[in-house]
Amino acid sequence: MKALLAMSPKLPQASDLKPFSKCLDFLKSDYNITWVDPLEKFKNLSYEEYTEYWKHKIHSWVESYDAFLGFSLGAILLQDNLNQFANRNKIIILFSPPSIIDEILKNKLSNVLSASRRGQTKQAIEMLHQYVFLETHTDYEKVRLEPWSVIASRVEFGLGYVLEREIPNSLKECETPVYQLVGEESRLVTKNNVFMTPKSTLQVVPNAGNRILEDNPAFSQAIVKEWLHVKP
């Protein structure tokens, strides 16, 4: 069976990864899936050190997996390392990658970040969920397992990194094929935020917001299976 590595978005708490991971259950009969939390290590790291940490981690995985899927923060970490996949015949799929930070996206992420830094992390999460989910989400307090201080540190580092990140110059001429998806109705990452490398393929998913696989599973799963060469 083939192996697939999936990097999650900047989830508020590490325990959120388990329910989020269900979005790839439709691939379990064809792939052994390994999930990675992009915020598994960030404490006491500068943004530059964080970038280097993931550069080395991804390098160590290149030969071990047949496909790499990234969501949001996980997507831009994979994108920044596309050159490591050159001539390796790997399948790379990025979901809602916040690569180009225009004023609209900058204002939304900055508002969430500012609220958390003011000690209003619960309100910040609620604000973020309004952008991420098409439908009203349940009160986060009901599923909260970790202290607000831990959640705040994850949210603030993840958002801060996305806002401060600069697109590597090397990507402008990167010849590694990559597939990218964004939701047509997304209130967060849109096609305007996607950075198209020379061999990028972009799919705008109808009736979907930032959580593409959850919002329109029939359409998005079919596309992903096609790209991964999985029989319907």
Partners of 95 in the β-ladder: 71, 181
pTM of the model: 0.96
**Of 98, 90, 100, nearest to 179 (Cα)?**
90
DSSP 154-187: HHHHHHHHHHH----GGGGG----EEEEEETT-S
**Of 2, 8, 151, 146, nearest to 73 (Cα)?**
8
pLDDT digits (tens, 9 = 90+) for 25-83: 999 999 999 999 999 999 999 999 999 999 999 999 999 999 999 999 999 999 999 99
The 3-state DSSP class for residue 70 equals: strand
Structure tokens at 13: 């708490």
Q: Are 167 and 195 in contact (CB under 8 A)?
A: yes
Question: Which domains does the chain possess?
Answer: 2-99+168-227 (3.40.50.1820)
Rounded to whole angstroms, how far apart are CA atoms 79 and 75?
A: 6
The HSE-up count of residue 154 (CA atoms within 13 Å, CB side) is 22
Local confidence pLDDT in tens for the 232 residues of the chain: 999 999 999 999 999 999 999 999 999 999 999 999 999 999 999 999 999 999 999 999 999 999 999 999 999 999 999 999 999 999 999 999 999 999 999 999 999 999 999 999 999 999 999 999 988 666 666 788 999 999 999 999 999 999 999 999 989 999 999 999 999 999 999 999 999 999 999 999 999 999 999 999 999 999 999 999 987 6
Cβ neighbors of 89 (< 8 A, separation 6 or more) are none
Q: Are 24 and 6 in contact (CB under 8 A)?
A: yes
Rounded to whole angstroms, how far apart are CA atoms 96 and 181?
A: 6
Rounded to whole angstroms, how far apart are CA atoms 8 and 72?
A: 7
Rounded to whole angstroms, how far apart are CA atoms 104 and 17?
A: 27
